[in-house]
Structure 1
Amino acid sequence: MTRPFLKMHGLGNDFVVFDARRAPLALTAAQVRAIANRHTGVGCDQLIVIEGSDRADARMRIWNADGGEVEACGNASRCVAQVIGANAVIETAGGVIEGTATADGASIDMGAPRFGWDEIPIAYAMDTLHMPVGWESLENPVAVNVGNPHAVFFVPDTDAVALDRLGPIIEHDALFPARINVNVASIVSRAHIRLRVWERGAGLTRACGTGACATAVAAMRRGLVDRAVTVTLPGGDLSIAWRNDNHIVMTGPATTAFTGEIDLEAYA
């Protein structure tokens, strides 16, 4: 038996999406890794399964390319909102979010960020606005949980950071019991941030929606930018606003690249 899927992306952060609201789907970590493989599978940064939910319009489950299931993905949330259509309430492991589909993407209410050291989580208590830690040139990060955990480093030039080398070192540091997404950001103006992201379980990515949200909020907490900014990633721009009700709203594109069918048993 084959299953239909969508190949979608948000600014180049790409997904294999299965709509399992009517026909339940169980996948193993090995199957996820095989499907995500860019040489012998379909290829993707994350695999998404849309399921039924008794507390929302749908439940979104997310697996990184390494086969690990994670709590949240901002770019995938926009894609799922496009699939569901109109105004969608989406249950995730990181909480319930709301999305409004647009002509070429979606606007997502990502909920309220969390800043407690135990909410990130961090292995022991510390100030999360000015963390007294560093890895070579990357120092003094901000920690934010926006459904998944992020460390944000502000640097003069994002391209000058060897993120492909330092990213996995920081991701797997014992300081972060659930591992961490690593963001390096440069402030362009009060309304503009440049960002590169090492994504937990996926590696360097062209775009990371939750990373853009976490970085914008981190910069706002430090007084570096205003409450609405454009975040430029290698794949393009996202608009991030931190509203007065403490909720983060992310707006950006979501694109269907192609549709297909896959024999899941071939990837068992």
Structure 2
Amino acid sequence: MVKIYLDPGHGGNDPGAIGNGLYEKDVNLTIALKTRNILTDEYEGHDIRMSRTSDVTKSLDARTDEANAWGADYYLSIHINAGGGTGFESYIYNGSYPGKQETDRLRNIIHNTIMQHVDFQDRGKKEANFHVLRETVMPASLTENGFIDNPNDAEKLKSDTFLNRIARGHAEGLAQAFNLPRKEQLDGVFYRVIAGSFLVRENAEEQQNKLQQKGYDSFVDIFDQDGTRYFRVVAGSFTDRANAEIRETALKEDGFDSFITTYKN
């Protein structure tokens, strides 16, 4: 059982960065809760604890002490940046310590997966002497998800759909890093999000390329109806319909007509 500790930064009387009508503490918490929910709904083989699940004050020592005492296998701290820049970046501790190579390997997987889901500028994989990275005894990383004082970044952070994409990047990154198995529905029913249905396979593959450019993974499924063969582009398959609806909304916002169908395995 992989123990994952999610840490939405700041909270309570510590708002974090403020800009463009947003408080960092609120956005951090929203992303962390969405990340937890995706992992809980879609994956197994893990246990999750959070430093906070509401707007409360919690010291940095309390967070790292809690994770260390629990015996967490991974510590992921979620933040929003400030200071006039733009884009996404991630951090690990900049010291010399046993396990640094493994810490960096896990961070690379999570960082790269997040970048597949968002259209932020990639500011790179960095190191810093942050408390939550230095005082944790397990591998740890910290993500900075856009700049709250940048109007373009802030506009994205005001979109619930975009926050879903950030959260999905974090969740799927953790799942890949720790090889978490997907949950199997007892009845074998999945909710597929179809982002195009074509009579010619080449057209479906062209749609796949367009989706890939926007950060969506997809595959082509052959569907026969009334003697006609269609090549459907599946841009997401979920055991939870709510997650399928989130993906459908995101696709539509990115200009892709889509709809949800059920599929029984």
Report the TM-score when normalising by structure 2: 0.29
Richer in helix (by share): 2
Richer in strand (by share): 1
Structure exhibiting the larger radius of gyration computed from Cα positions: 2
Report the TM-score when normalising by structure 1: 0.28
